[in-house]
Amino acid sequence: MNDLYDTNIALWSEHQAALLRRRADGELVNDADFDWSNMAEEIADVGKSELNATLSQIDNILRHRLCLLGWPDAPAAGKWQPESREFHRQIHRHFTPSMTGGANPKISKATIAEAYAAAVDHCLAHMDTAPTQPLPAVCPWSLCDVLAAP
């Protein structure tokens, strides 16, 4: 079964899902047919994918908010607000409260602070002029602010 995982993951996933459904319906299925280690990795990857999609949208939101803050009269400013709304729409497709909760949250104040510093660097490197308004040294938005729709 590992060969199928390496050569045709779509077929592998269909087969594994069918086995799991049969087992869930009460059928006794040979455990040797299950590819437990790869299934575990794939399930973990789903969570990582959702987290990465959320982090990517946080980066986009912070970049656009910074551009609007530092370059409010830039020609592109009219596009930044609707793009920011789209990033918020996207973030809510991927974000789950468990990402910010528990003993070891995947997204925290520190995550936002790190993303903010990267967003400042990005904006300064990609804008043609210096900001007309000073950019705050620390992120002026809380995690809740970043997650909330504008």
Summarize pLDDT for 18-77 with one digit per residue, the tens. 999 999 999 988 878 889 999 999 998 888 999 999 999 999 999 999 999 999 999 999
Domain match, 77 and 11 both: no
Domain match, 55 and 22 both: no
- DSSP H helices, 8-139, are 9-24, 36-70, 77-94, 109-126
Determine the residue type at 49.
Answer: S
Q: What is the mean pLDDT of residues 15-20?
A: 92
Q: What is the mean pLDDT of residues 78-91?
A: 94
Q: What is the mean pLDDT of residues 94-102?
A: 91
Tell me how far apart the alpha carbons of residues 62 and 10 are, in angstroms, rounded to a whole number. 36
40 falls within a domain: no
Domain match, 68 and 135 both: yes
Q: What is the pLDDT of residue 2?
A: 64
Owning domain of residue 52: 47-147
Residue 58, C-beta contacts closer than 8 angstroms, at least 6 positions apart: 91, 107, 111, 112, 115, 146
3 falls within a domain: yes
Domain match, 15 and 74 both: no
Residue 12 tokens read as 């592998």
42 falls within a domain: no
| % the chain with pLDDT above 70 | 99
28 falls within a domain: yes
Residue 64, C-beta contacts closer than 8 angstroms, at least 6 positions apart: 80, 81, 83, 84, 87
41 falls within a domain: no
| Cβ contacts of 95-101, under 8 Å, gap ≥ 24 | 95/50, 95/54, 95/147, 96/50, 99/50, 99/51, 99/54, 100/143
Number of domains within the chain: 2
